[in-house]
């Protein structure tokens, strides 16, 4: 009885929440290119296309119809059009009985037998034994490629065996096609429902209650909330900006032109954010700029720093500060593309401004005579306002000046009734036209209640000459970038406390601080990675005091971000820097030359490029180690990118090179040589100078 009462209370609460959040008689679930517009009433948002959204749309189109998971997967993979889908649903068989009558027979929904039989497992183990012997032999001969090949095959066979054998050596059984489809589709639908709930908790909860998954999937409408789903195009279509995660922000639902949608759009995702710590100096500077803008004295602020240092998060915090002072903030992004779209961040800002406007008529009125030029930047405006005339036919140079002037006039008109913060994200990927427009606005914003915040990564100006020119011009105007570095150790300790809600031991704070160099994203990722690996807490739930981090154990998200940065290097450059990473956090050019099979002049060029990219920096550690990796995780990512045999071979080479370069100081270098010899494993070559080195260590 108590359970039933709790269920009724929960259902009542959900009903109240639903009634307060969206109109129960109309909802939208429409695909537009690579995105879906989803929502009820005035709360709408856009999600990037995934199979899960396709499955969900299929179910919503046919209330109460049951789809076998194999049919559902086949239809989405086949991308049937709407007309075919509607026709096929009218006579759709439901349940096992109807399937049998329709001549559709589903085989066993259990398993498909053992993943590997005893004979196959015996063959796998025999081959593994052979490969291990082969690997040892090739390593002793110094054959790196042969050892790598054997290592890769060992990893593949071990992975297959681990999948086939469970705890205690019991055999795992392979699922049938139906069972695999049931698990895959159920997981995919659950994931997309969670994505919807992140944007609209009420709608996500409603769909979670009405969508049934299993061998047969269906949408069972709630009689208390009859909803008419709209799947086709409607009268007004508004483009909205992508969020930092790559998904567009909430967009207005399609309303009749006489009743435009009113919606406040948040360009950032605020769910699950870690508490903001540190950056007192930068926050003070930006707050002062926002406070001055209230009195009509605008400015431009540029935030520079490496990936993961917290540029976007700082901009978010400042946007929230400004919104409390009745500013409206709009965000535009640049993206890494072979051919950047001209003015893209400004197009997103215009589209977001339309989404947040009090009415379409008000937005159109504010554009005024500048509408033709603004529609050149954001062509989607013409779909909403078909009355916008074509721009004047002018010579190219004059046309560009007229376009820029129209943007600044449009911003001035908008800021007459409300102050603005415009955030331009990832300007290191901006095209020349976007950066030129930024300079134009920077020269005119001083007399407007507007703050423009731009973010960009260090080390990209060499690859983007337009960015270098823009930064030089801004500096001449007195606008110097705020360069963000890592957080202090105290700030990292505070961040870890906010993550764990516990006082973190000094040893663990120091370990994570050294590993992350105070970069907030890396701090959080390293901490969560250690949690997932069970390295943080002991069996009693207390912090361990003996936590260690392997030098190739890089969190996946961190590896992806750093890996993208390293993609700008060619193979020779990667090989040289990987060799430097094997030497250690700090290294000398002389030792790097000794272990690299690369021409000295080319190696100079590689080191200079790495310095320009911010991968390595000049070291003050000691004269014999003039270079150091700017970030330990960069070094670890380079190490993680090569196989164990190659890493061992390089360590052996480093040990040999140290002994050869310092024959009179082998005892002083004994610790370094021993460390590399241990890491070299079977690749230790007892010949030449190595014999002397080995003897000196005995």
Q: Which two tokens stand for residue 518?
A: 């105070």
SS3 call for 242? strand
pLDDT at residue 403, as a whole number: 92
Q: How many residues does the chain have?
A: 698
At 502, is the pLDDT very low, low, confident or very high (cuts 50, 70, 90)?
A: confident
For residue 586, count other CB atoms closer than 10 A to its CB: 18
pLDDT at residue 25, as a whole number: 57
Q: Which residues contact 510 (CB under 8 A, 6 or more apart)?
A: 489
Q: Which one has a higher pLDDT value, 139 or 10? A: 139
For residue 275, count other CB atoms closer than 10 A to its CB: 9
Please give the Cα distance from 537 to 545 (Å, whole number): 9
At 114, is the pLDDT very low, low, confident or very high (cuts 50, 70, 90)?
A: low
Task: Using the predicted structure, report yes or no on whether residue 272 has a pLDDT greater than 70.
Answer: no
Q: Residue 698's Cα: distance from chain center in Å?
A: 50
Task: Using the predicted structure, report yes or no on whether residue 226 has a pLDDT greater than 80.
Answer: no
Q: Are 357 and 265 in contact (CB under 8 A)?
A: no
Q: Which of 438, 379, 365, 679 is nearest to 551 (CA)?
A: 679
Q: Which one has a higher pLDDT value, 576 or 544? A: 576
Q: Which residues contact 343 (CB under 8 A, 6 or more apart)?
A: 377, 431, 433, 434, 437
Q: Which of 656, 675, 682, 688 is nearest to 144 (CA)?
A: 682
Q: Which residues contact 365 (CB under 8 A, 6 or more apart)?
A: none
Q: Using N-to-C axis directions, what is the helix angle for 644-661 and 118-140, rounded to 10°?
A: 10
Q: Which residues contact 538 (CB under 8 A, 6 or more apart)?
A: 544
Q: Which residues contact 666 (CB under 8 A, 6 or more apart)?
A: 659, 673, 692, 693, 696
Please give the Cα distance from 655 to 595 (Å, whole number): 10
| CA R_g for the chain | 31
pLDDT digits (tens, 9 = 90+) for 380-416: 888 889 899 998 888 888 888 999 999 999 999 889 8
Q: Residue 449's Cα: distance from chain center in Å?
A: 33
Q: Which residues contact 374 (CB under 8 A, 6 or more apart)?
A: 350, 367, 381, 406, 407, 410
Q: Which one has a higher pLDDT value, 138 or 42? A: 138
* Helices then strands, each counted (H, E), the chain: 29, 17
Q: Which two tokens stand for residue 479?
A: 């606008």
Q: Are 208 and 10 in contact (CB under 8 A)?
A: no
Q: Which one has a higher pLDDT value, 124 or 312? A: 312
Please give the Cα distance from 53 to 55 (Å, whole number): 5
Q: Which two tokens stand for residue 386?
A: 């078909």
pTM of the model: 0.55
Q: Report the pLDDT averaged over residues 157-186.
A: 65
DSSP 24: T
SS3 call for 369? helix
Task: Using the predicted structure, report yes or no on whether residue 89 has a pLDDT greater than 80.
Answer: no
Task: Using the predicted structure, report yes or no on whether residue 607 has a pLDDT greater than 50.
Answer: yes
At 229, is the pLDDT very low, low, confident or very high (cuts 50, 70, 90)?
A: confident
Please give the Cα distance from 686 to 68 (Å, whole number): 66
Range with lowest mean pLDDT among 199-203, 432-436, 464-468, 687-691: 687-691
Q: Which two tokens stand for residue 85?
A: 């889908």
Please give the Cα distance from 311 to 457 (Å, whole number): 9
pLDDT digits (tens, 9 = 90+) for 424-433: 999 988 999 9
Q: Which of 56, 19, 83 is nearest to 229 (CA)?
A: 56
pLDDT at residue 85, as a whole number: 39
Q: Which residues contact 500 (CB under 8 A, 6 or more apart)?
A: 527
């Amino acid at each position: 009885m108590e359970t039933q009462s709790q269920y009724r209370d929960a259902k009542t609460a959900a009903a109240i929440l639903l009634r307060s959040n969206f109109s129960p008689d109309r909802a939208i679930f429409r695909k537009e290119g690579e995105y879906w517009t989803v929502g009820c009433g005035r709360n709408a948002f856009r999600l990037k296309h995934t199979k899960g959204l396709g499955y969900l749309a299929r179910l919503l189109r046919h209330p109460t119809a049951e789809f076998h998971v194999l049919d559902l997967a086949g239809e989405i993979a086949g991308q049937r059009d709407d007309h075919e889908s509607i026709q096929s649903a009218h006579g759709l068989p439901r349940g096992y009985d109807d399937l049998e009558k329709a001549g559709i027979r589903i085989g066993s929904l259990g398993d498909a037998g053992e993943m590997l039989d005893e004979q196959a497992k015996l063959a796998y183990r025999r081959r593994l034994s052979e490969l291990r012997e082969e690997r040892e032999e090739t390593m002793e001969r110094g054959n790196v490629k042969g050892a790598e090949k054997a290592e890769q095959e060992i990893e593949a066979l071990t992975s297959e065996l681990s999948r086939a054998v469970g705890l205690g050596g019991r055999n795992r059984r392979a699922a049938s096609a139906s069972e695999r489809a049931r698990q895959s589709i159920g997981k995919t639908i659950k994931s997309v429902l969670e994505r919807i709930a992140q944007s609209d908790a009420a709608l996500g909860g409603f769909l979670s209650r009405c969508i049934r998954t299993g061998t047969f999937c269906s949408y069972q409408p709630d009689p208390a909330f009859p909803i008419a789903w709209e799947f086709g195009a409607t009268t007004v279509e508004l483009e909205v900006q992508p969020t930092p995660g790559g998904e567009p922000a909430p967009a207005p639902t399609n309303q009749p032109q006489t009743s435009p949608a009113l919606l406040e759009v948040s360009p950032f995702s605020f769910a699950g954010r870690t508490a903001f710590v540190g950056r007192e100096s930068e926050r003070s500077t930006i707050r002062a700029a926002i406070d001055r803008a209230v009195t009509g004295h605008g400015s431009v602020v540029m935030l520079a720093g490496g990936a993961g240092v917290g540029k976007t998060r700082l901009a978010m915090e400042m946007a929230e500060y400004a919104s409390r002072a009745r500013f409206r903030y709009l965000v535009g992004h640049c993206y890494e593309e072979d051919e950047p779209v001209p003015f893209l961040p400004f197009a997103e800002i215009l589209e977001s401004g339309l989404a947040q406007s009090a009415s379409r008529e008000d937005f159109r009125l504010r554009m005024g005579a500048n509408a033709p030029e603004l529609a050149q930047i954001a062509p989607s405006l013409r779909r909403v306002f078909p009355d916008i005339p074509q721009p004047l036919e002018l010579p190219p140079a004059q046309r560009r000046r007229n376009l820029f002037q129209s943007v600044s006039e449009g911003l001035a008109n908008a800021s007459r009734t409300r102050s603005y913060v415009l955030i331009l994200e990832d300007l290191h990927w901006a095209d020349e036209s976007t950066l030129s427009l930024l300079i134009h606005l920077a020269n005119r914003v001083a007399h407007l209640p507007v703050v423009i915040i731009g973010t960009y990564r260090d080390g990209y100006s060499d690859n983007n000459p337009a960015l270098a020119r823009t930064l030089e011009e801004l500096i001449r105007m007195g606008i110097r970038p705020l360069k963000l570095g890592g957080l202090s150790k105290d700030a990292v300790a505070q961040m870890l406390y906010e993550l764990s809600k516990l006082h973190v031991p000094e040893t663990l704070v120091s370990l994570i601080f050294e590993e992350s160099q105070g970069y907030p994203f890396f701090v959080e990722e390293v901490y969560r990675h250690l949690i997932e690996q069970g390295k943080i807490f002991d069996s009693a739930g207390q912090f361990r005091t003996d936590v260690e981090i392997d030098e190739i154990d890089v969190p996946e998200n961190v590896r992806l971000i750093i890996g993208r940065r390293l993609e700008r290097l060619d193979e020779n450059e990667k090989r040289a820097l990987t060799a430097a990473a094997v030497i250690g956090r700090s290294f000398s050019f002389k030792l790097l030359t000794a272990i690299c099979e690369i021409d000295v002049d080319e190696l100079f060029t590689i080191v200079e490029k790495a310095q320009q990219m911010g991968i390595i920096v000049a070291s003050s550690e000691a004269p014999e180690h003039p270079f150091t990796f700017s970030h330990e995780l960069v070094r670890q990512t380079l190490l993680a990118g090569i196989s164990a045999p190659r890493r061992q071979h390089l360590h052996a080479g480093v040990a040999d090179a140290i002994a050869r370069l310092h024959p009179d100081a082998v005892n002083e270098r004994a610790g370094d040589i021993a460390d590399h010899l241990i890491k070299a494993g079977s690749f230790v070559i007892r010949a030449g100078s190595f014999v002397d080195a080995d003897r000196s260590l005995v």
